[in-house]
Structure 1
Amino acid sequence: MITQTKKPSLLVTGSVFIGRSLLHSLRNVDALIMAIVLPIILMLMFTYVFGGAIDPSGQYVNYVVPGIILLCAGFGSSSTAFDVATDMTNGIIDRFRTMPIRSMNVITGHVVASLARNLLATGVVIIIALLVGFRPTGSIFEWFAAVGVIALFILTITWLFAAIGLVASSPAAASGYGFVILFLPYLSSAFVPTITMPKWLQGVAENQPITPIIETIRSLLVGGEVANQIWWAIGWCFLILIASIIWATWTFKMKAGRR
């Protein structure tokens, strides 16, 4: 008599792939350390080297930290593109497809593990920021709201990097494509107010996704009028998140189906 293998639940397979990705993160300690160290170096450089020239009042650290938080998320999430591209090119997806599991969970595992990893890295960056003079004034509710926006941004950009890793021809190419996205915070209000930029650049800086996210976090943590910024921030995140999930799912099915 032929017995049919029972297919494990999505919860079980999902937890296995998340554990696999977290284990890879623990083994690749260098990447995790660099994802934390690079934003901290940038924060120290902008605070102590450029801060006096940009804001002689000594309060520049309060302005720059929200941008550094998003940089930290970007650096940490960018490794997802490399990890996904590696899985797609080393043949392991073929092995997963022979098992009674939903192989797309391997991508979900990378995304959830990246979210956990980058929330931890963000916490470390905030602690260092407090040590160098960051003085947030937000209430507990505002802190929860800020963390929610940060988590949504990390989830969004991680799915975007996952989609990039799927379309890239190699892990090296995935890293290169992802690196371009990391320049977006520099063309926003992360380090200087957009009003100080040339007129033609102001339009780019004020109407790209990163600026309302940074302004929302900044207003929640150090005071200011959130106004419509939070809705623009959430709207941009959900738009990119949905597009990235659809893109990643379609690309995975196309690539995995051809194997």
Structure 2
Amino acid sequence: MTNDSAIMLRRNFKHTVRNPVTLFNAILLPVVMMLMFVYVFGDAFSVGGAYVDYATPGMLMMTLAYGLSATAVSVNSDMTKGIINRFKVMDVSRGAVLTGHVVSTVVRTIVALTVITGVAFLMGFSPSASFPQWLALIGVLLLTSIAVAWLTVALGLAAKSAESAGFTTVPLIMLPFFSSAIVPADKMGPGVREFAEYQPFTPIIESVRGFFNGTPSTGHTIAAIAWSVGIAVVGYLWARKKFTKRA
């Protein structure tokens, strides 16, 4: 099982490296968005401090979401183009196929998050987090990445075609825009404000922001972990059910 998962990870990683669109969406597009929001729109937002310090946690969440469409498309392609049948002939563990997609998504996300954090520092980002707080926020981001990776795999399996699989991740990509990623939720209009406050990405962003500021919020962190675990469980069970049904 472990060896099969490693093979699937290597295969998916090679596909990612060879696909410029995936690399652009996962790594370069978040950098462009970071530059645009901080340098073009940053002065328009009143956040009580340097906008780059406020925006970085939100940009990390956007970065986490931007590369998901490639995972959904890849998973669906494996199912619809007969590749899974080839793996069955090769006696590759069926669980390793799903695990390989999840792990490759997480690895790609870690690389993208590292890049965007580096860009943030070049733009003047100055966090106050201690070493334990850095470890905590990395843990929150890693857990979130695993959770959305499983959900994305499930969405890819549920889609009827590779084209529609890409569209299934649009809500996940758009959610950060309707959260506290760009501006505080309390500055939004009625309706949007309530949605932003109670959707899953806002407590995750606020948890990471609190750790960066050196003032961690226990409530936001507990909510972030609860949301991530819940999404991971739903995604995993849904993915296994769809995979068993279709493979």
TM-score when normalising by structure 1: 0.91
2:193 equivalent to 1:202: yes
Indicate the RMSD between aligned Cα atoms, in angstroms.
Answer: 1.4
Which amino acid letter does the alignment assign opposite residue 197 of structure 1? M
Alignment of 1:11-50 (within 5 A): 11-50=2-41
| Aligned-residue offset at 1:180 | 2.4
2:180 maps to which of 181, 189, 200: 189
Q: Which has the larger radius of gyration?
A: 1
Aligned residues: 247
2:136 equivalent to 1:179: no
What secondary structure, in the 3-state scheme, does the structure 2 residue paired with 1:43 have? helix
Distance, in Å, in 2 between the alignment partners of 1:58 and 1:217 is 17
2:215 maps to which of 220, 224, 235: 224
| Aligned-residue offset at 1:89 | 0.9
Higher deviation after alignment, 213-222 or 42-51? 42-51
What secondary structure, in the 3-state scheme, does the structure 1 residue paired with 2:191 have? helix
1:56 to 1:136, Cα distance in 2 relative to 1, 3 A: closer
Contact preservation (8 Å) 2:69, 2:167: no
- What percent of counterpart residues are identical? 38
| Aligned-residue offset at 1:134 | 0.9
2:83 aligned partner: 92
Distance, in Å, in 1 between the alignment partners of 2:194 and 2:143 is 25
Distance, in Å, in 2 between the alignment partners of 1:120 and 1:94 is 31
Structure 1, unpaired ranges of 5+: 1-9
Which amino acid letter does the alignment assign opposite residue 211 of structure 2? L
1:162 aligned partner: 153
Alignment of 1:83-122 (within 5 A): 83-122=74-113
Distance, in Å, in 2 between the alignment partners of 1:161 and 1:23 is 19
| Aligned-residue offset at 1:58 | 6.0
2:137 equivalent to 1:146: yes
Q: Deviations over 1:25-67 (max 9, x none)?
A: 2222441133111111111111111111113876011001101
1:64 aligned partner: 55
| Aligned-residue offset at 1:225 | 4.2
Distance, in Å, in 1 between the alignment partners of 2:31 and 2:71 is 21
2:33 equivalent to 1:74: no
Which amino acid letter does the alignment assign opposite residue 22 of structure 2? A
Contact preservation (8 Å) 1:83, 1:171: yes
Distance, in Å, in 1 between the alignment partners of 2:195 and 2:11 is 40
What secondary structure, in the 3-state scheme, does the structure 1 residue paired with 2:59 have? helix
What secondary structure, in the 3-state scheme, does the structure 1 residue paired with 2:245 have? helix
What secondary structure, in the 3-state scheme, does the structure 1 residue paired with 2:13 have? helix
